[in-house]
A and B are shown apart, each in its own frame.
Chain A
Amino acid sequence: MNTRFDPDWAAKPAQPIPGNKRKLWHFHGGIHVPDEKSLSNGRALRPLPLPAELVIPLQQHIGAPARPKVGVGDQVLRGQVIAEAQGYISSPIHASSSGTVIAIEPRAVPHPSGMHSPCVVIATDGDDRWAELPEPIDFEAADAATLRERIRQSGIVGMGGASFPTNVKLNPGKDQPISTLILNGAECEPYITCDDLLMRERAADIIEGARIMLHMLGAPECLIGVEDNKPEAIEALRLEATLADDARLHVVEIPTLYPSGGEKQLIRILTGKEVPTHGIPAQVGIVCQNVGTAAAVADAVLRGIPLIERWVTVTGRAIAEPQNFRVRIGTPAADLVAAAGGYSGEVTKLLAGGPMMGLRLQTDAVPVTKSFNCVLALTGVESPDPGPALACIRCGTCADHCPVSLLPQQMYWHARAKDLDKVQDYNLFDCIECGCCAHVCPSHIPLVQYYRYAKTEVWAREKEKRASEHAKERHAAREARLERLERERQAKLRKKKEAITPKAKAAPAAGKPADASTDADEARKAKIRAARERAAAKKAAEGAPAPAAAEAAPSDADEARKAKIRAARERAAAKKAAAEAEATPAEKPAEKPADAPTQDTPADPEADAARKAKIRAARERAAAKKAAMEAGG
């Protein structure tokens, strides 16, 4: 275990490296690990032959997954957009080669859960024909927005592992002026050498990318940080920077220490600034990009080429011929292993990424994604079983080596107790999951697993909290709605009651002036009497058509009284007939006296009779139906 802890680290300045003219700073902690770079950086880079099938995941970036633009059976060309970005923090996906889309379905992807995720599967036709690419841009004449749009359309995301959409990162906003652009060529993780080879062979493109990004950000300087175990890369970059004749570019050699390649750690080493907790580097005036991302930016802006390939290291002592490949996005990892001579012995661990931060793969059938930088097959010797975790002895070595100056021991205790509030008090979300603490722990406690558990648990609980707030709002709205309906119902009832009483007060005044008494019973009686008289008059009019009408008209008082009596008799008979027809509906008789006063005298007596007959028939039908339902249900 090669570790280093110097209690006076903060007081001493960083050791100057010969040839380096820039001042450097230390970050707290860090560990020295055997870098194992020589396994894979000896062989030259090779392009990998096109695979038969490309499996391109729709989510290869932070943010919303891309939405497919093609359908099954479509012919696609190399570089064609096959899925478009959804929202601002998202990225489009391009076809890595020409062929036919044979499926859009969930497939295995490199993810710690081992779950499947929707992918576009393309059967390559071997022709590798290009789609029509956008025009090259003269970046020095273009404005930042145009360049950002080109970077977005080309699907460029951070290729150092985080895969954050690059156009978003290069848009810090007007209120965050950028003083330094940092290119991350540190590649601090053991075994991985793809960035090393990229810097050696594509230094020109990296420098071009740096200049494009400097133009976009309006920053006065660019620092390219490279660890001192990559002398050839440093020389190549320095040469290209000199050729570019750009005084803003500085290639800075930094001491090899894990995890110098962490964004916040590199910023600290090169500028001495600390990114605040819960903050981003733009807040201290810095933007940091991986060297691979810079090369991709150059490709997109100067040649219109979208992000469809990357360099991947295949290494580990369980691989026959460890080396680096230029690989199309969507190539199965198994193809890379096969091209590297296949497995040579027992594979204890298969990882996507490095030994410290890589994720465990159960199968090599996963595709290479935009941030997939290494296939690592480790033997038992390289990755010994540390045995079961022992009890924490509170030695504090973990805190000595944490590069973020956190307290891993305290976070461990609280995460173990599932006390998520206290874990967050110890700045859980500043943890970069580098694994230094777990590496030095004498009890072999899997510390990073506890922090990962705590982080996802906190996010899940926040999500649940938001969902229950939303449910509470809906419930409250529902209660309010029901209350409102109840109030409206009550108001309607009240109105109906009021509508009845004024009419009762008005009718006796018109009919019998003598009955204008304040007694409620008298008023009701008067109401009923008035209703009866109205109905009688109506009946008299309809009972005997023309002669009745003629008879109703005589000015003779006696004749009028006789007509009234006749009408009353007919009314009684009609009522009896109606009562026989209505067997069960109880509310109908109650409605009748209420209906009578509100009915207007019909102009046509025959129509009135017909209508009444219809109503009677309908009532009989309803009664029969109800009886049938009760018998059947």
Chain B
Amino acid sequence: MSVIDQTTTTTPRHGALGTSPTRPDGVEKVQGTYAFSSDISADGCLFGVTLRSPHPYARILSIDLSAAWKIDGVQAIVTADDVPGQLTYGLISQDQPVFASDVVRYVGEPVAALAADDPEVARRGMEAIVVEYEVLTPLLDADEAISGMRDPIHPDGNVIRHQRIVHGDAAATGDVVIEGTYEIGMQDQAFLGLEAALALPDSGGKGIELHVATQWLHEDRHQIAACLGFDEENVRLVLGGVGGAFGAREDISLQVHCCLLALRVSRPVRMAYSRGESFLGHVHRHPASIWMRHHATADGEIVKIESKMVFDGGAYASTSSAVLINAITLAQGPYRCPNAVVDGWAVRTNHLPCGAMRGFGAVQACFAYESQMDKLAAACGIDPFDIRLRNAMTTGDTLITGQPVLNVAPVEECLRATSALPLPDEPVGGLLLPDGSQDAMKLPGGAGRTADAADVVRGIGWGVSIKNLMYSEAFDDYATARCRLVDSPDGVHVHLKFATSEVGQGFVTLAPQIARTVLGIDAVVIDPIDTQVGSAGSTSASRQTWMSGGAVNKACGVVRDLVFEQVAAANGWDATGLFIDGTDIVDPTSGSRLDAAAACSGLNIDETVEYRHPPTTEIDENGQGNPHTAFAFVAHRAVVDVDPDLGLVKVVQIATAQDVGRALNPLSVVGQIEGGIAQGLGLAVMEEIIQVDGVIRNGNFTDYLLPTFLDMPPVLATLIEQPDPLAPLGAKGVGEPPCISSTPAVVAAIRDALAQAGVDAALDRVPVRPADICL
């Protein structure tokens, strides 16, 4: 022990909270040695494939497997008849069959799965299965689903959920009334790491281990065990390396199929989707149609909103009911709004099923309310920036559900900080090349060299948004973490164990930062991520920094307090006064310091805790209640260059200021901001799944366009750091906000450019297509 006369360190040491240590899996990922779920195999492994419906709606008359069984190398075929447990699964309601047995409800619905020695044999076997269908007339119109004119396409009915919100004075009116109808196309998460899993059956067939890329190991286990007819403890899930998620891995895809095949043959089976199959195999962002009317005073203060929102959930419910509630409860945006009448429907059709995607309902609502704010600004003769400032929500304001916003709510700060960021210094069309010619890469249309610089017009647009964090509507939302001290030859290591899915966001970087800060020990090991510890909840809803971060923080805090007790007893100190400073345990009374890691040597401490956020409530028939946990805010300003004649757009710059609470790892926060904005830009001008008569027409990366290096502009970002006293680490989730209001900001900028060019285009639909601009 040494007594050091030294003041408390104020700058966090590298690796602690507030710094940006590198990812612990970074070197493996850049060297290609990191094992993604599609890289995992096993000796004697078979390969599984899925037979899918070619029809959006049809009755299955017969399934003939005889030809498939005759193919040498086919080892197992399973259909609905082979599901030993529950025949259906689903996140909120279990309405989706493991395999369709009587009716198929979307193009791509699984009908059978087959395992063979080799992928090619498996594909041939699958093609040899003969399914006889009676084709039915699909339900493809969301309004028709609401109308009640069609027979139910599913026993649960054609309306998944209807919810109304009536708040304040429903009859209130304003001096200024503006309205519009907005459409949002179906977006794909398009993670790069395709669905893949490896199932390893226990000898005896009483249990199974599944290595899979997922967002929520325990929920997967719950659904898999039910369908297999197993107790949950006999289903062990291990996180396979996850190549991105963005919501698409919240639902089951191949998990049950892979397990069924493996159990059938008592051999390991792996499955891996192709890109085309992936478009069919996971849920998408809901396409939506939103009518919205704003009433305001003459000087632009919102008096009332009215809205009707229709979300097309596709064939199965997935999380549609929760997506809908996000959309309608956040319909006012980050603005004060005393009165509201909002109706929302999530409906069932024979389209591809929809569910979670980054932003989860808030995205669709935001495109509508932000488009409305620009209309309101124009109607009141106020600048789009000023009208947002005038209505900006702050802490203590209420949602239209009556729920007070208790978190820090720096909407005005987000707006002002974004506005303070410099506009692009390059002129419209970019700087000329050294030879004096135009640089085509700086023009809309890029390498196509189609735009004429003289025709290009620059526009600026704003988008601001609110996002609820964590799960809502009285859901028992918790995360589990275990912390233990382990002696090793090179000193004490902190071992952290959790089931938190690392999908790329960087929780594996953050968790050790928390442990280093709380315990003062730099050596932190993350134990395998699997179901051998309690649930962490899903890596979604911007919740893991708050929830699993909260659990790791709590577990480390419990361990630290036990360490303090033992150290205090050994040294004759008062345990209650001890604190961690850097890597030292400090006794303020004596001024003594101990190296924390050294002091923990020989201490056998192992603690597992659960962290819960404060409870939320259901909403009543008028949509009133406190359904949400917490809120985060962000502002975006987009600058675009548009060729009005050709309908071409180049996004030149996105500026943003985001309410992050506290940046625990600033580099990771910037990564979330830039990545989220890319997805928001994609929805604004590029990305849409096209279905014609219920058949996907662009389920590949040639036709489904993703933003590339050339499509993404520079992002200027300011982090608004006002630590939230309600958050365990002061930090808000940062994953979703970037992709919410970046979309309407880009569209507003296009409208601004077109207005300058004298073109009147409503652009009430995303993604904006060239024809929406120039025709």
Q: Do A and B come from one complex?
A: no
Which residues from chain A sit less than 8 Å from chain B, CB to CB? none
